[in-house]
Homo-oligomer: A and B are copies of this chain.
Amino acid sequence: MMAHNDIGDVLLELGGRIGKTIEDLFPVGTDEDFLTTPFWHHMGTGGKRIRPALCLLTCRELGGDEDDAMNFAAAVEILHNMFLVHDDLEDGDRIRRDAPTVWVKYGKANAINLGDYMIGRAYSVILASPVDNRIKLKLLDIFTHTYETTCRGQALDLNRRGSADFNVKKYMEIVQKKTADYLVLGMLGGAVVAGVPAEVLDALKHLGSLMGPAFQIRDDIIDLTLGKGRGGELGNDIKEGKPSILFAHALSNASEKQKKSLLKIVRKKREKTNEKDLKTVLQIYESCGSIDFAGSQAEQLTDKAYKAVENIPVENKEVFRNIVHFMSERTK
């Protein structure tokens, strides 16, 4: 059993363990350097490897051998980064964690092809897992299902930008698809390797359906308060017209005049959105109480997540309480 404040260190240590597996999957200096060079450029921009760490931790705490989950953990991290590489291009983001994004540094075609290749590598490493065939196929099922659901969520996300009839219900539909299974994918894989029964997996999925949206809502708020590591730039979601919970809430609660102004700004091209626009949107969000609303939604979801932990049919619930706590205190 560990205290709340220890789990960060445990996850950091576990996340570091997949390094070797990923290095073996993308060996530097091969004749396919057009793939490994941009891959390592991207990976060099940082990332805390929370998802793979959660995979190893869950496997261990549920009685499995965490070494058997190493390949799946690496696959989860590769998937996460593959989405970042493609999303940066889809969103036109030029900077990630203070470095140029892959498409900016290596061109759009290389960014698309690298992401495609990364998916292949993720499947390769799962296929090479040291587990029996039944477990391996279960891992592939979970991985594929989550991958597809995330793409479905991304499709909704991309096509609801600046949409006049966007609302909190539609927001929740997107985040359920984009973040629920996705956030717990590593945990599910770790649990599968540990050989838990189906009810445990269902309970973990339920946990994801609460923890994932809570995480995303906090991320939406942070975009307005701390920035997301793009040179400290605030308000990226507004510039990209992203369907955030703030946008969803404000649209349903603003005056006609505010609504018109809000839509006009989020529909502008990102490079045309100026500081005055951001200020206007912030004022609308504040006058509609959207930021408070978002904060309380995140809190409610986290409370529910704590309750959901109590229903996971395993002895060792403490690790999941710690995970909920940990995730509620941080973002991407």
- Asked if B151 and A123 sit within 8 Å, CB to CB, the answer is no
Report which of B109, B110, B133, B159 forms a contact with A34, defined as CB distance below 8 A: B159
* Chain B CB within 10 Å, residue with most, of A134, A148, A156: A148
Q: Among the listed stretches A60-68, A113-121, A263-271, A315-323, which one makes contact with chain B, having 4 or more residues with CB under 8 Å of it?
A: A113-121
18 further interface pairs, Cβ-Cβ under 8 Å (given A32-B152, A121-B148): A34-B155, A34-B156, A35-B151, A35-B152, A86-B112, A86-B116, A90-B112, A107-B158, A110-B158, A110-B159, A113-B151, A113-B154, A113-B158, A116-B154, A117-B148, A117-B151, A123-B144, A127-B140
- Asked if B34 and A117 sit within 8 Å, CB to CB, the answer is no
Cα–Cα, bound, A91→B108 (Å): 10
- Residues of B within 8 Å of A124, CB to CB, are 144-145, 148
Main secondary structure of the interface of A (DSSP, over half): helix
Interface string of A20-52 (1 = CB under 8 A from B): 000000000000101100000000000000000
Report which of B108, B112, B114, B152 forms a contact with A117, defined as CB distance below 8 A: B152
CB distance from A66 to the nearest CB of B (A): 23
- Asked if A90 and B108 sit within 8 Å, CB to CB, the answer is yes
* Copies of this polypeptide in the complex: 2
A226 at the interface (CB under 8 A from B): no
Which B residue's beta carbon lies closest to that of A141? B127
* Chain B CB within 10 Å, residue with most, of A86, A121, A145, A151: A151
Cα–Cα, bound, A110→B117 (Å): 19
Cα–Cα, bound, A119→B83 (Å): 13
The interface size of chain A toward B, counting residues with CB under 8 Å, comes to 40
Chain A, 123-162, CB within 8 A of any chain B CB: 123-124, 127, 133-134, 136-137, 140-141, 144-145, 147-148, 151-152, 154-156, 158-159
12 residue pairs from A and B, CB less than 8 Å apart: A34-B159, A86-B116, A89-B108, A89-B112, A91-B109, A112-B115, A113-B154, A113-B155, A116-B119, A120-B147, A124-B145, A127-B144
